[in-house]
């Protein structure tokens, strides 16, 4: 984990930015919650445990900075808040989301199904793909079960 922080520190410094204690605490929170898709508010609450004096604005500024540096990915699931994911060491964010419109649950598929599509895109549209985002909306298995039992009542 220290190795990843050092790497981020170097990235920041190469652009003239500093790795302050607040920024380090923020990065640690992201590292410790890599599986989640934290909102700025989520990150703020978690960082407060490590650095109680931190302000929400600093968290926003840090996330924005990390996003510009491509250290985190800023995402939007349409629920009114931006969510942030640390990028993996491999440079791309190869997973897709299944979002249930009934219960709001979100699960992930870790496969990347889009490799061939991206190649086609670069060829046919001359578009240099840096990242993609594939979300499916629908009804999860649990809610399908619930729906059919509701129908009976």
> Quick check: 60 binds DNA (CB under 7 A)?
yes
* Strand 38-39 versus strand 96-100 pairing type: unpaired
Instruction: Name 52's Cβ contacts closer than 8 Å, sequence gap at least 6.
Output: none
Contact pick of 14, 18, 151, 152 for DNA (by CB under 7 A): 18
**Could you tell me which residues are beta bridge partners of residue 98?**
107, 136
Binding residue ranges for Zn(2+)? 100, 103, 140, 143
Q: How many residues bind a second copy (CB under 8 A)?
A: 33
Degrees (nearest 5) of the Cα angle 30, 81, 23?
30
> Quick check: 29 binds DNA (CB under 7 A)?
no
Residues 35-64: x/- map of binding to a second copy (CB under 8 A)? ------------------------------
HEC string for 68-96: HCCCEEEEECCCCCEEEEECCCCCCCCCE
Residue listed under structure tokens 């009114």: 80
| Residue placing its CB nearer to a second copy in the complex, 65 or 98 | 98
> Quick check: 20 binds a second copy (CB under 8 A)?
no
Cα(111)–Cα(122) distance, rounded to whole angstroms?
A: 21
Binding residue ranges for Fe cation? 94, 132
| Residue placing its CB nearer to a second copy in the complex, 32 or 102 | 102
Residues in the site for a second copy, rule: CB under 8 A? Answer: 74-76, 78, 82, 98, 100-101, 107, 109, 113-114, 117-118, 121, 125-141, 144
């Amino acid at each position: 984990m220290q190795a990843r922080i050092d790497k981020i520190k170097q990235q920041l410094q190469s652009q003239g930015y500093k790795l302050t204690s607040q920024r380090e605490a923020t990065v640690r929170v992201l590292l410790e919650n890599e599986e989640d898709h934290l909102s700025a508010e989520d990150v703020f609450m978690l960082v407060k445990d490590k650095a109680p004096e931190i302000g929400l604005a600093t968290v926003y500024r840090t996330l924005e900075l990390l996003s510009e540096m491509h250290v985190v990915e800023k995402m939007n699931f349409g629920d009114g808040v931006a969510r942030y994911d640390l990028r993996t060491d491999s440079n791309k964010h190869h997973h897709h989301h299944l979002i249930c419109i009934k219960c709001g649950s979100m699960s992930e598929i870790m496969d990347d199904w889009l490799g061939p599509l991206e190649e086609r895109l670069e060829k046919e549209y001359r578009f240099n793909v840096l990242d993609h985002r594939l979300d499916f909306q629908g009804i999860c298995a649990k809610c399908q079960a619930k729906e059919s039992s509701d129908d009976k009542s």
